Amino acid sequence: MSTSNLFVNAIRTTRKIFPDFLSKKLINQVVTQKKPTHRNTNTVGRLLDSIQDIPSHTILLGQCIDGLPFLMSLGEPALGAILIGCDVGNGKTHQLQLMVDSAIRNNSARELQIAVLTLNPAEWENIQSDPKSQRYLHDIFAWYDDRAEQTINIFTELAEDRRQGKRLGADVLFILDDIDTVEDLSYEAQVNLHWLLEYGSQSGVWVVGTIDAGLSSGFRYWIDTFRTRIVGRVGSSDDSETLAMRPDSQAAGLTPGMFRVWIGVHWLTYRLVPLGD
């Protein structure tokens, strides 16, 4: 059975020198395809349309080399915060937008809300201006906007309240493009965000961040809180080892738009697809 036919679930991390950051127990639920996929013509919409009965809180990462979609479930708290790292210009922001596009297509606005902090809000204009997407968006702010810190504080309070059983509501997919910008925030916002990275997934606040590989060694305090790692092309072996938490990612051999994930026994390689239908 092809690995890409399975839903990713139940991540178990270990604290070794290079932990199995996606040491997964894959549930025996096969994705039933309505029609064959076509590797060179698929979009997010076409890949999701090819699958029957996708559970809620599931997002698309991309298309595996065998042509099948690669899905990740956000329903397991042990997944933790997700870090996407690669060299500049190799697809980090597109990976984020693909995840958001698929999340909107596969969940109701009552189940999932989305917020984005980014250095370049203009890159998200298509999603922000789409009427359907607007129902899902808490908002999209620049890191330097005062409302960015307000958003962090709102989600921290939400996660803390949920831990105490005070309120429910929709889960949150919290996108942090260029996590290295975090040190420009106030001390309070940094403390709250670090707490969210550690504990947000336990309360349905799913944080996904990106970092340029060349900056990773200087931000170990931040990136070490991410339990799940997605690695794109990285030319430096030291940088790829820092990002992957393993020495064998072979990230230098990837082409732009290709990413790898460790699934417990081997690496699974997939590629990004265009957004939309």
CB 118 within 8 A of CB 178: yes
What does pTM read for this prediction? 0.85
169: phi then psi, degrees, rounded to nearest 5: 105, -175
Please, which residues bridge with residue 52 across strands? 32
Q: Where are the domains of the chain?
A: 3-271
CB 264 within 8 A of CB 276: no
pLDDT of residue 196: 96
pLDDT of residue 79: 86
Structure tokens at 144: 């330097």
Q: How does DSSP assign 192-254, residue by residue? A: HHHHHHHHGGGGTEEEEEEEEGGGGGGGHHHHTT--EEEE---S-HHHHHHHHSSS---GGGP
List pLDDT tens digits, range 114-136: 999 999 999 999 888 888 899 99
CB 135 within 8 A of CB 108: no
Pick the CATH number of 3-271 from 1.10.1240.10, 3.40.50.300, 3.40.50.720, 3.40.710.10: 3.40.50.300
Sign of torsion, CA 73 93 21 51?
positive
CA distance 166 to 63: 39
pLDDT of residue 185: 96
Structure tokens at 274: 């265009």
Per-position pLDDT tens, the chain of length 277: 333 333 443 332 223 322 333 433 332 223 334 444 454 578 999 999 888 888 888 899 999 988 899 999 888 888 899 999 999 999 999 999 999 999 999 999 999 999 999 999 999 998 888 888 999 999 999 999 999 999 999 999 999 999 888 878 899 999 999 999 999 999 999 999 999 999 999 999 999 999 999 999 999 999 999 999 999 999 999 999 999 998 889 999 999 999 999 887 888 999 999 998 8
pLDDT of residue 40: 55
List pLDDT tens digits, range 202-247: 999 999 999 999 999 999 999 999 999 999 999 999 999 999 998 8
CB 59 within 8 A of CB 103: yes
Q: How does DSSP assign 113-151, residue by residue? A: EEEEEES-GGGGHHHHH-HHHHTTEEEEEETTSHHHHHH
Residue type, 8: V
Residue of 56, 83, 63, 69 whose CA lies nearest to 5 = 69
Structure tokens at 273: 């697809």
Map residue 268 onto helix, strand or coil: strand
